[in-house]
Chains A and B, each alone.
Chain A
């Protein structure tokens, strides 16, 4: 089962590699396919960080616009999805800080069944792989000590700096730094076990 999932992920990555190479050459149908594959993930991230539908809609357009413009500079030795998520996260955090908005993090996704996340006209095969990856990331997060998970989530989804997290939680700055480092290390180890990141 795990071997099959790994194979599916490898195929999805190969597809992504081909698509982004075609996008770099100006192929709009390839861009369309990448959009269909990842727009829901980017929109979900933008909604969670920005907490405003209109801003998230703008984010989706801007992020994919950057993908279109920067496709030629994409390092093909790396996977497309983390690169895309990096662009999306950078944009959302910059936007969040620009607005000086500090929404509270909410990490209660269990009540959203996976099926409701699958868009009707998306690339179902790729979406299934994404759903599986989402499950693995969430499961890995659940296995972190709560204080480490909290530090990661406050930084990643609420755009708080180490100092702001320390202030908000009433912890020393050094404690927050350690939690962040240990949390990310453990997360990496857990995801390596599923070949989601390289060993």
Chain B
């Protein structure tokens, strides 16, 4: 499938200043969440009031950029109303799209706000053309944010069978588990990441000294990792913990090593596969991080459009290697097998 416009860049914003930085650094769109348990980065001190979001829309629009609002938790019955209000607010401030995963939220957006674009969050886990068809027909979604479980080749196969816009996560946190089906944090803490939008909520995290100058990390009183003194420290989500397996007795990073998704090396392949939008993860990141990552990807995309052979190997990668999580990078599932 041939796109009629260049690949688009979608950047994260955890607050108004980051939004401005992302737009100024060349994002075609930014995505945000409100300050409530309605989106998957519901963290203290992060996210937008409705007023700030309205200002953000105006800033983005004046500069030709779009704004998407994530309402992508799986609310339980008592949380539905808050999610519906978030969709109402997104429409009221003039956002271009809402990003949702739960069927209740998707249906609400479609029936109550038929002019609002609805994008399918990767947390819905739609990795297959038949699943995408269901979401297209039932909820009218126009863009599918693919879960982080597909290779470039598999993405190309999906592309051949759908006319939906396809968005792919290309940089940031690499989740080891199938999107929207990981309850590791919930099992340890009792706080459902799917429903309240926070993995390993900070109020459950405790640090203590470990032998040899290291750092013990507990989540709700459960030890999930011991950082060695020399180890690069990352936010202690359970999937990046170390566990002793009962067969070998060895303690290791069973689910994944602490590393960062960086798909810049396969950007030309993603483009050839017909991906419409590339997405940078990281609403929880600093303004400087958002600016640096967005700018590097902008350069890479522009170089790609100009068929510059340096597209995938330019300064951008060097720029980014210093800020990737754990100082290690991976293509994740995009690498294929």
A and B found bound together:
no
